[in-house]
Structure 1
Amino acid sequence: MRAIDYDSEQHQDYARGRALSERQLGVWLAAFEAVLPERRPLAGLDVGSGTGRFTPALADAFGPVIGVEPAARMREVAETRSSHPDVRYVAGSAEEMPVPSAAADYVLMGWSWHHVRDRPRAVRELARVLRPGGRLLLRTNFSDHHPRPWWLEHFPRGYEADASIFQPLHEVIEGFTSAGWRVAGFGTVTEPSAGTRAAMLERLRLRTLSFFAQLDPAELETGFERLEKAVAQDPDAPAPVFAEPLLTLELP
Structure 2
Amino acid sequence: MSDLSDRGVDPFEPSRSPKDFDLKFSSHWMRSFIFYGIPSISLLSVCMSFIKGRNDNVAVIEFADRFILNNEASIPTLLSIVLMWMASQLCALNYFYYQKIRKSRLNLYWIASSLFLLAMAYDESAQVHETLRWSVFGDILNGQSWIFVGIPIVGVLGVLFIPFLLSPPRRLKMEIGKGAAIFVLGAIVIEGVGGVYKANLGMDFTYNLLTVLEEATELVGVSYVNLVLLRHAAENRISIDFCDHAES
TM range (shorter): under 0.3
Whose strand fraction is larger, Structure 1's or Structure 2's? 1
Which TM-score applies when normalising by structure 2?
0.25
Whose helix fraction is larger, Structure 1's or Structure 2's? 2
Larger Rg, first or second structure (1 or 2): 2
Which TM-score applies when normalising by structure 1?
0.25
